[in-house]
Chains A and B, each alone.
Chain A
């Protein structure tokens, strides 16, 4: 790649990182309490929340892993992304108002706080916090590694910059992330999410058209090439087949209502009634980003088959290689900034969730109170979690990192869909059922991933965990006497 092109890309990324630092400084003055740090003072507007909800869902996995999956498997993974309108409907129909009301009623500053209030159970709080913390460490580690890898590729493409190591890139990426998360807490996080979401939308729309233009004959050219090579790849089930693809449907539709980095945002809105307008904003943003996910993957698969691009060493190179060789420098710059945005918008949410679990939820569950000077310790925990995750991802076995990364979405779905999404809408749900669902999700997900157990027809392990934990949750609740719920919570659940 020539230097001018690399410099344009580097310029966009540097400007984006500087903007994140600026937002961190701006948010510092507005963050004076733990309520501000974890809940943004419960004062977020419609656009900010809508874009923050979608941008924290679309992580680096969506911008890099998604096109990689389409390149490798054809349209199988479309069942993760095309179904996003239903995903957000599950989030908003089930939790859009209920979770927000419970949060205000009990002044909850974290999801485990709200869970403890709903079930009247400190054990439920502890298990929710542990599930979140386990997912956070794995997810955060992989996001930091992804950021460092992309940054290294960008820097090493500029001839006058000496070879930069992955460690150096990790330090730079972590420094920016930690700076705005420590100074501005969730407020900085959601306002950077706003910028990040906007960048991601612009990037996705332009990339969609660039991808169609990259292959002779546009969409028809791509499809004709793929049909001639392997008709299954461009069928709705892709190469994975029908059962495997459809197993992703439930995990990604219903599972969305169990993602703590997504649903926690619902606790921060200014007004309960805002849920009505936030939903279409989130759905629209994600739908546009789905265009990038699908189009780059299909275009790169067609280009490689046609001989218009050398075979990729790794499917995850589909997006970076497309940008380097088939997109203009300005577009590549915007999309690389969008890629950072996608990664950071998820990572910052996880940092905040992890810090809340460490300084607020786990001490409360174990000792009945939070740490004194919680805001200070929240900032310390944010630094420790980011550095700890980076060290963990650098020095642990890569299969362990991948295991914990994969563990994230499926575990959150299996643990929190029954406990939160169903439990906040069904008074018969018991604390025992919630605890059993969380433990089942951890055991089944770790069991399947850790022991490499294969489910027939490529059915996703997260689906099995979600199905089992939710079935158990309903079974235990229906066979138990109705639980006693605090009168105020019961009244809110009746609205």
Chain B
């Protein structure tokens, strides 16, 4: 299957995830009676005002609010990571030769993201969560894992640039195209 078709498929899958957020009820919520006699549902699953400090938000009970959508969030994250890595491949002409290292980078990022989700489940149910490097486990995976791991994609670009992104032959060909264009202009 061609890469643009795969990208289109991933986008459609993300559209399905977005559509699911409209049908899976956000929790917790309260039904507030309105002036017209109806009921308005107010959800607090994506944060609520802090009880003590009005300039801050409060997350509430993580286990409760994420329980119905944790799996969807995991799929949402994986789809986005896959889409981004596939987009990076779109930018490299010699795709067949960069495919393996990019897939490895993508798998690494996806694995770390999965660890964030897995350790988060333990974190929200733990009354006294342990700290790793001064941070709760899921946050430690995010900061000490996900952040530096992206550096591999940067290193890959630097390392393979002159072999796979723009080779000496490419530059020679580019100069020919440029010369032909300028000759045509004259």
Contact = CB atoms under 8 A, between A and B. Distances in A.
B76 to A, nearest CB: 5
Nearest to B92: A93
B70 interface: yes
Interface in A187-246: 218-220, 223-224, 227, 230-244, 246
B120 A471 contact: no
Contacts of B157: 89, 92-93, 276, 279
Given A243-B76, A312-B55, A85 B65 contact: no
B60 A232 contact: yes
Contact of A467 (B11, B62, B66): B11
B4 A236 contact: no
A72 B57 contact: yes
B46 A85 contact: no
A474 B46 contact: no
A253 interface: yes
A457 B46 contact: yes
A125 to B, nearest CB: 19
Contacts of A92: 157
Given A239-B57, A488-B177, A254 B87 contact: yes
B32 interface: no
A260 to B, nearest CB: 18
B136 A253 contact: no
A305 B5 CA distance: 50
Given A90-B87, A105-B181, A235-B62, 5 more contacts: A239-B60, A243-B76, A254-B83, A287-B147, A425-B91
B53 A304 contact: yes
Contact of A223 (B8, B43, B65, B131): B131
A219 B134 contact: yes
B73 interface: yes
A249 interface: yes
Interface residues of B, number: 77
B162 A242 contact: no
B180 interface: yes
A239 B59 contact: yes
Interface string B167-184: 000110110011011000
Contact of A101 (B143, B161, B174): B174
Given A272-B174, A275-B161, A459-B18, A488 B4 contact: no
A146 interface: no
B166 A89 contact: no
Interface in B2-29: 4-5, 7-8, 11-12, 14-15, 18, 21-22, 26
A276 B165 CA distance: 9
29 contacts: A72-B55, A72-B56, A72-B57, A98-B91, A101-B174, A219-B134, A219-B135, A231-B136, A234-B139, A235-B136, A235-B139, A236-B142, A239-B56, A240-B47, A241-B65, A242-B73, A242-B76, A250-B14, A276-B165, A279-B157, A301-B56, A315-B56, A425-B91, A426-B4, A455-B21, A456-B22, A457-B21, A488-B181, A495-B166
A474 B162 contact: no
A475 B15 CA distance: 13
Contacts of A249: 77, 80
A97 B55 contact: no
Interface stretch (A13-21, A75-83, A323-331): A75-83
A464 interface: yes
A218 B134 CA distance: 9
Interface of A: 71-75, 78, 82-83, 85-86, 88-90, 92-98, 101, 104-106, 218-220, 223-224, 227, 230-244, 246, 249-250, 253-254, 272-273, 275-277, 279-280, 283, 287, 301, 304-305, 311-315, 421-422, 425-426, 428, 455-459, 464, 467-468, 470-471, 474-475, 477-478, 488, 491-492, 494-495
A9 to B, nearest CB: 24
Contacts of A235: 59, 62, 120, 123-124, 136, 138-139
A106 B136 CA distance: 53
B85 to A, nearest CB: 9
A468 B11 CA distance: 9
What 8 A-B pairs come out closest when comparing CB atoms? A232-B59, A458-B46, A85-B150, A93-B91, A242-B73, A239-B59, A219-B134, A239-B47
Given A236-B138, A246-B76, A422-B87, A88 B154 contact: yes
A232 to B, nearest CB: 2
B80 A250 contact: yes
Given A236-B116, A488-B180, A495-B166, A243 B69 contact: yes
Contact of B153 (A71, A85, A96, A97): A85
B11 A471 contact: yes
Q: Which residue, A97, A301, A422, has most C-beta atoms of chain B within 10 A?
A: A97
Interface in B43-80: 43, 45-47, 50, 53-60, 62, 65-66, 69-70, 72-73, 76-77, 80
A301 B173 CA distance: 56
Contacts of B120: 235-237
Contacts of B90: 94, 422, 425-426
Q: Which residue, A93, A239, A305, has most C-beta atoms of chain B within 10 A?
A: A93
Contact of B72 (A78, A243, A273): A243
B97 interface: no
B91 A231 contact: no
A475 B8 contact: yes
A145 to B, nearest CB: 20
B84 A495 contact: no
A227 B58 contact: no
Nearest to B158: A276
Given A223-B135, A272-B171, A478-B5, A105 B55 contact: no
A98 B170 CA distance: 11
Contacts of A239: 46-47, 56-60
Nearest to A474: B8
Contacts of B173: 491, 495
A227 B128 CA distance: 9
Nearest to B126: A231
A220 B134 CA distance: 5
